[in-house]
Amino acid sequence: MFYIVPNPDWESDFKPKTVMEKRKMKKYLILDPILGTNKVQETNKAVCFTPILIFILFFFFNTISAETIATVNSYEITLEQLHEKMQDYEGDFDLSFFQIRDLALKDLINDQLIIIYAKQNGITVDENEVESYFINLLGNDPKLLTNGEFDYQKFKKLKKTKQV
């Protein structure tokens, strides 16, 4: 592990001409406690900290996307799923971030509980029931109406797309 600290005598070695040079070129003393060596390295702060920052951000975002926040039976709910579900509620309600998060998490848990209950009790849904559900849900959508009436042919075309 390396510790980066400003070299206390950097001004005696290096005389910058401008304030910008002073900011850009600072010496840092890199201490390596494992090897017991001291190395003085002239470098820009950004050069030192950019790789560290990139590593931290990469590690942070990779762990967030796969982080399990809840387990229902053997099904894991990830932080990524929670964020997707939260987006469904944003703008629709006058709720705080924490209320939206709690609502989304409860919905994800309830979805899994319903699936578990259905499996345990042998409850299945056939394709006709699913189709009837969507016709009820989307029946008044102007895209599916012809002369003010539901057009089943338009619904069939919509079913073939990835929008449903």
Could you count the other beta carbons within 10 Å of the beta carbon of residue 131? 14
Q: Both 52 and 15 in a single domain? A: yes
5-17: average pLDDT: 53
**DSSP-derived secondary structure for 45-84:** HHHHHHHHHHHHHHHHHHHHHH-EEEEETTEEEEHHHHHH
Domain C-terminal end among 35, 62, 89: 62
Q: Both 98 and 85 in a single domain? A: yes
Given pLDDT bands bounded at 50, 70 and 90, which one contains residue 35? very low
Domain C-terminal end among 62, 77, 92: 62
The tokens describing 128, both together, are: 């006709």
HSE-CB at 31 with a 13 A cutoff on CA atoms is 6
**Does the pLDDT of residue 131 top 80, yes or no?**
yes
Give me the amino acid identity at 96: S
Distance of CA 45 to the CA centre of its chain: 29
Q: Both 144 and 111 in a single domain? A: no
13-31: average pLDDT: 55
Q: Both 46 and 79 in a single domain? A: no
25-53: average pLDDT: 52
Q: Both 46 and 77 in a single domain? A: no
- Please tell me the total count of domains within the chain: 3
In terms of residue numbers, what domain contains 129? 125-164
126-153: average pLDDT: 88
